[in-house]
Amino acid sequence: MGKLNGKTAVITGAANGIGKATAAVFAEEGAEVVCADVNENDLLETVSSINNNNGKAASVKLDVSSESSVQEFAEHVKSTYGTIDVLFNNAGIDQEGGKLHEYPVELFDQIMSVDLRGTFLVSKYIIPLMLENGGSIINVSSMSGLAADLDRSGYNAAKGGITNMTKAMAIDYGRNKIRANALAPGTIETPLVDDLAGSQEEESGRQFREAQKWVTPMGRLGDPREMATVALFLASDDSSFVTGETILADGGLMAYTWPGKMLFEQGWKESTE
């Protein structure tokens, strides 16, 4: 405990899922957490939960796709906190769009605007608050930013961009004692999965989860808190000589080249039951 004592952390997409779990873990480790999201109602629940458990958190409405919203947010953070030690760029959306020639331009633009451009904008306006004392930036990429998916070229492009932009940030700010790394989750049990594939109560959602269990060596989906503890490692001094890296946390899904015996080995299929 106490790995982030005396630190101030900004977390985008903090209303639910990985962002909510990370806000809780950072607060447990002593950080003062600035929780930002466009979803105000869920965001207030995140902050209330932290404060009711002796943590310290504040909520700020933020649309990461809007430059003016990000600028106002950064000005608020500067006037309230002065400097920032940790930036967790987590806000993102995902949706299938069909084959590339069928992919709606509006959907492509929306995903790029929130996921990639949003990460760029928040970093651009928050990094000046880190230049004096240094710090850690964690950008949420995805295993889908390291490989590709059927019918999700917009998400693949956005997350692939985040993966490589993180390397650029590490180079740009290494001499300023600012580290930049990416966290690449696999399939995590979050509301985003519900939106993409259906909830656990829906048939489509159940089928999706069973398929993910089958294809993942660890035989299950990840938990948001498991991603939060990886983010904690990257935010803390435990990773003081780690920068420009993408940490994959996918339960082993990308450890193999093709399913091979997994396709017909009954024992493998039954091992998740």
Residue 269 has pLDDT above 80, yes or no: no
Which CATH number do you get for residue 253?
Answer: 3.40.50.720
The CA-atom distances, in angstroms, between 19 and each of 219, 232, 235 are: 24, 12, 14
Mean pLDDT (the chain, rounded): 95
Residue pair 181/245 in contact by the 8 Å Cβ criterion: yes
Task: Give the model confidence (pLDDT) of 100-117 as tens digits.
Answer: 999 999 999 999 999 999
Pairwise CA distance, residues 130 & 138, whole Å? 13
Active site residues: 155
Rounded mean pLDDT, 185-201: 89
Residue 1 lies inside a defined structural domain of this protein: no
Q: Is the pLDDT of residue 155 over 90?
A: yes
Query: Does 223 fall in a domain?
Result: yes
Q: Is residue 204 assigned to a domain?
A: yes
Q: For the residues 192-219, what does the mean pLDDT come to?
A: 89
**What's residue 195's pLDDT?**
84
| Burial per residue of 243-254, b for 16 or more beta-carbon CB atoms within 10 angstroms, e otherwise | bebbbbbbbebe
Q: Is 95 a residue whose pLDDT tops 70?
A: yes
Mean pLDDT within 147-174:
97
Q: How far apart are CA 200 and CA 225, in angstroms?
A: 19
pLDDT-derived band at 200 (thresholds 50, 70, 90) equals confident
* Within a domain: 244: yes
Is residue 2 included in any domain, yes or no? no
By residue range, what is the domain housing residue 263?
A: 8-270
Domain count along the chain: 1
